[in-house]
Amino acid sequence: MVAPSLVAFLPPLLPILVAAISPEPTVAAHSHSKPKPFPPLTPLRMQALLRHERGSSSRGGKLVVTAAADGTSSTAANPFTAHYFPQELDHFTFTPNASMLFYQKYLVNDTFWRRPSGGKGAAAGPLFVYTGNEGDIEWFATNTGFMFDIAPKFGALLVFIEHRFYGESTPFGNNADNFSKTLGYLTSTQALADYAILITSLKRNLSAEDAPVVVFGGSYGGSKSFLNHGLKYPHIAIGALASSAPILQFDYITPSNSFYDAISQDYKSESLNCFAVIKATWDVLDERGSSDKGLLELSKLTVKYADSIGGWLEIAFIYTAMVHYPTPANFLENLPAYPVKEMCKIIDGFPANADILEKVFAAASLYYNYTGDQTCNQIEYEDSSHSSVLSDWGWQACTEMIMPMSRSNESMFPPSTFSYDDVSNACLQLNGVPSRPHWITTEYGGHKIDKVLKRFGSNIIFSNGMRDPWSRGGVLKNISSSIVALVTEKGAHHLDLRSETKDDPDWVVEQRRQEVEIIQGWIDQYHQDMA
């Protein structure tokens, strides 16, 4: 069975803004006005299953409200103010295009901030900065309630910075020809420089140059929080919390089959029958897709291709494993607590002789329609003729963020192999540029990371939950006394960054307690050093 394509999201892009604007010395004046609102995100076919994040577009006003952990709107809302920083397009060359500007979006909450008082008064509270992922920054801010929970204790200013080319922080117009010529500015190194420049400027404009900065991030954002503090700009922040950061998923540092094998283990640990039913699904799809009678049966599902069903099912099983949270959540979709367990209960509840597709469709509907508000399942998206239009993460995954992914015979998914040559050829055909499969480890390292970081790194928390398939590409052992790995057996994808709830199990509470204690130690040591 051919691995199906998944759905990605191509956000609208902004025109280049070339007027040089100097920020004024207040939070409000650091902001800049924006052009008119933008249309919603458009679903396009993705070239491969390489990442999971998606952002819901929120273009309307300046006030953003977080959601409660159970997926409902919180009455004790945490408001943000949205600001736009004039960022240079290219930080590393001195060419005419390099000095062109785009507006990078960031969100601020100063509810709990202890402002600098001057003289011999209390020191300014720290800046807690989230390094944005591959999506709208509001989406990640609303799912990072941990920073709000601990801000009062620290008197912290909260800042969430959007990644360039995502959400509203997009430098170019939504034009296929223009887009394909300008995505070269979408790189992790440019993004890290964006964060360093924005943080430095913000501190200066707030007269808070001596305030310590702690960077936070989950998943790709967690990788960037580590890279920003630990490797590229260690003078910008005093420490980093990198949650579910798969920094070892590159260059075969981690076995290429680890991601899918971890998902398979998640389901197998809940039910051997559940695992076996899902594993048998793909042969059934192949068999029915190869005969007229089988295609007639599949046509009742209003789909054209068996692969479309396979892709729809894979998304449900993969993402549900990632967000196997111990409490209800709406990070990707509205889901109950321990959703993998609930999926397997559905499958196991069918009679043994029931049709396999009936079983797995019912289980997948838990992911897509747990609330029951969908009248039908959108299994196929309208095929896009804009194959030359490049998606933002698709570009990064094709050019520099190449993660070897294969599936073993023991996986519950169809076996597959991985080839750098195949990826590079596809990238060249689609994007007009070849891949650089070893660039990430050349630029940032990764091989023998324990020995490397032990020599010069400090103040990093790597947190991972072993139910999260991305954890296999994370740092799972302490590297030094100040570079620690907090690993939970039952944790899921950056669970520790979510808001606390009354139903949190003790092991989540303890993990967050340790993180707060470590961060407090960083800040205390910083002030001692400054004194």
Rounded Cα–Cα distance for residues 239 and 129 (Å): 11
DSSP 21-56: -PPPSSHHHH-----S--PPPEEEE-SS--------
Dump pLDDT digits (tens) for 284-320.
988 887 777 766 666 665 454 455 788 889 999 999 9
Tokens at residue 213, please?
């900065």
Per annotation, catalytic residue among 52, 163, 229, 493: 493
Can you identify the CATH homologous superfamily of domain 78-248+446-530? Alpha/Beta hydrolase fold, catalytic domain (3.40.50.1820)
Instruction: Please say if the pLDDT value at position 51 is more than 50.
Output: no
Per-residue pLDDT band for 375 (boundaries 50, 70, 90) equals low
Dump pLDDT digits (tens) for 440-479.
999 999 999 999 898 888 999 999 999 999 999 999 999 9
Out of 222-236, 251-265, 287-301, 449-463, give the one with best mean pLDDT: 251-265
Instruction: Please say if the pLDDT value at position 227 is more than 90.
Output: no
DSSP secondary structure code for residue 404 in this structure: -
pLDDT score at 122: 74
Rounded Cα–Cα distance for residues 467 and 404 (Å): 20
Nearest C-alpha neighbor of 405 from the set 197, 263, 208, 226: 263
Per annotation, catalytic residue among 31, 58, 169, 219: 219
pLDDT score at 299: 62
Q: φ and ψ at 335, to 5 degrees?
A: -140, 155
Average pLDDT score over residue span 82-111: 94
DSSP 174-199: S-HHHHHHHGGG--HHHHHHHHHHHH
Out of 8-12, 328-332, 363-367, give the one with best mean pLDDT: 363-367
Q: Could you tell me how far CA 195 lies from the centroid of its own chain?
A: 16
Nearest C-alpha neighbor of 244 from the set 259, 265, 266, 229: 259
* Length reported for the chain: 531
Lowest mean per-residue pLDDT among 174-183, 230-239, 272-281, 351-360: 174-183
Instruction: Please say if the pLDDT value at position 95 is more than 70.
Output: yes
Per annotation, catalytic residue among 261, 468, 496, 504: 468
Note whether 115 and 193 are within 8 A (CB).
no
Q: Could you tell me how far CA 11 lies from the centroid of its own chain?
A: 16
Cα dihedral sign, 408-412-416-417: negative
Angle at 82 between CA 97 and CA 513, to 5 degrees: 110
Nearest C-alpha neighbor of 14 from the set 101, 80, 91: 101
Q: Please name the helix (run of DSSP H) or strand (run of DSSP E) that holds residue 97, with its range, or none.
A: none
- Return the domain boundaries, the chain: 78-248+446-530, 257-431
Q: φ and ψ at 107, to 5 degrees?
A: -110, 145
Rg, the chain, Cα only: 23
Q: Is 143 exposed, middle or buried (0-12, 13-18, 19+ CB in 10 A)?
A: buried
Rounded Cα–Cα distance for residues 141 and 160 (Å): 7
Rounded Cα–Cα distance for residues 443 and 447 (Å): 12
Instruction: Please say if the pLDDT value at position 67 is more than 80.
Output: no
Average model confidence (pLDDT) across the chain: 81
Average pLDDT score over residue span 314-336: 94
Dump pLDDT digits (tens) for 195-210.
999 999 999 999 999 9
SS3 content of the chain, % helix, strand, coil (to 5): 40, 15, 50
Nearest C-alpha neighbor of 492 from the set 477, 474, 518, 513: 474
Rounded Cα–Cα distance for residues 304 and 309 (Å): 9
The answer to whether 493 is a known catalytic residue is: yes
Note whether 66 and 145 are within 8 A (CB).
yes
pLDDT score at 56: 33
Instruction: Please say if the pLDDT value at position 27 is more than 50.
Output: no
Instruction: Please say if the pLDDT value at position 230 is more than 50.
Output: yes
Lowest mean per-residue pLDDT among 46-55, 426-435, 447-456: 46-55
Residue linked to tokens 């910075």: 161
pLDDT score at 121: 61
Lowest mean per-residue pLDDT among 35-44, 78-87, 127-136, 256-265: 35-44
Among 3.30.2020.30, 3.30.870.10, 3.90.1150.110, 1.20.120.980, name the CATH number for the domain at 257-431.
1.20.120.980
Nearest C-alpha neighbor of 216 from the set 253, 178, 242, 190: 242
Dump pLDDT digits (tens) for 128-164.
999 999 889 999 999 999 999 999 999 999 999 999 9
Angle at 227 between CA 11 and CA 480, to 5 degrees: 145
Lowest mean per-residue pLDDT among 58-62, 456-460, 510-514: 58-62
Residue linked to tokens 């015979």: 409
pLDDT score at 531: 85
Q: How many helices (H) and strands (E) does the chain have?
A: 17, 11
